[in-house]
Amino acid sequence: MAGLAPFARMNGIGNKIIVADMRGRADRILPQAALVLAADPVMHFDQIMAVYDARIPGTDYFIEILNQDGSFAQACGNGTRCVVQMLALATGKSAFTFETIAGILNAHSNEDGSISVDMGKPRFDWQEIPLAEEFRDTRMIELQVGPIDAPVLHSPSAVSMGNPHVIFWVDEDVWSYELDRFGPMLEHHPLFPERVNITIAQLSGPDHLIIRTWERGAGLTKACGTAACAAAVSAARTRRTGRSVSLTAPGGALQVDWREDDHVVLTGAVEMEFTGYFEPETGKWSRNGEGLA
């Protein structure tokens, strides 16, 4: 056993994140440990962000992301913002370059306390999302929920923000859709060989979206940063909005700017809840100053 690792339990506008400080260690967090932590009523999380020493020159750290179900995710916008806060407190720095499975990401804290992360470029090609069959135009793909002649949800936009997303556009209140019922079905739909994150989005004002998300590997969340990016980019791509979009998720507000160089920047608040130590192999944990649970 490699010993206890420090963690910070945080949230990015309600997206429940454990930032695990794995710097200086060679061991990894096991999916089994993630399942144990996810089942704990206090530690229950959407994603674990495991921060390791850099593996390649020009980066500060390598980040591995685990979902609540023990699966690995390529990208996590809100989690990356939480990592910046944890590292800023630990190192006194305010800007970082991370290596993730989805690519190299730059992130920094702002003077108003918010944190921004450059999530890289969106990908629209059906093979890159990935989809199981060819769609030449992913602004609107063939997929529907409900009766064939009166679908409840249909024709979503599809995009990869490093991880796969579909966005269903609705006119009604986003809370009037049973996302808890449709989410699991769509996440595992054969059209998505790597499963998918599902968002319902309503245009509620000029350049403003209201969103709700069912996350791959985590279920209903109060917020999902990559989903916010996916919704904003898809809204701009379908001429619903311009390239700077404010969003309201159940947990709060996010801002997404799709820059002219094609990079997508996500900005919002994060919150520190408590800190402690855990065993990366087993998921046993304790708050600072207490014994292992």
Ligand X SMILES: N[C@@H](CCC[C@H](N)C(=O)O)C(=O)O
Site string for ligand X, 14-43 (x = CB under 6 A): -x----------------------------
Taking the complex as a whole, the smallest distance from the CB of residue 73 to ligand X amounts, in Å, to 3
- Residue with smaller CB distance to ligand X, 186 or 218: 218
Q: Which of 75, 76, 82, 170 is catalytic?
A: 76
Which of 49, 91, 85, 189 has its CA nearest to residue 131? 189
What 3-state DSSP class applies to 35? Answer: helix
Question: Of the ranges 98-106, 128-136, 219-227, 239-247, which one interacts with ligand X (CB under 6 A)?
Answer: 219-227
Active site residue 224: yes
Q: What is the C-alpha separation between 144 and 177, in angstroms, rounded?
A: 13
Q: Taking the mean position of all CA atoms in its chain, how far away is CA 97?
A: 18
Question: Of the ranges 129-137, 142-150, 209-217, 268-276, which one interacts with ligand X (CB under 6 A)?
Answer: 209-217
Q: What is the C-alpha separation between 109 and 245, in angstroms, rounded?
A: 20
- By CB under 6 A, residue 76 contacts ligand X: yes
Which of 41, 33, 65 has its CA nearest to residue 284? 33
Residue 225 annotated in ligand binding: yes
Active site residue 82: no
Which of 72, 16, 71 has its CA nearest to residue 251? 16
Q: What is the C-alpha separation between 109 and 41, in angstroms, rounded?
A: 30
- By CB under 6 A, residue 116 contacts ligand X: no
Inter-residue contact 58 to 97 (CB < 8 Å) = yes
Q: Taking the mean position of all CA atoms in its chain, how far away is CA 272?
A: 17
Q: Taking the mean position of all CA atoms in its chain, how far away is CA 66?
A: 11
- By CB under 6 A, residue 100 contacts ligand X: no
Taking the complex as a whole, the smallest distance from the CB of residue 114 to ligand X amounts, in Å, to 15
- By CB under 6 A, residue 159 contacts ligand X: no
Residue 283 annotated in ligand binding: no
- Residue with smaller CB distance to ligand X, 216 or 240: 216
User: Given candidates 122, 225, 280, 283, which one binds ligand X under the rule CB under 6 A?
Assistant: 225
Instruction: List contacts with ligand X (CB under 6 A).
Output: 15, 46-47, 67, 73, 76-79, 163, 197, 215-218, 224-226
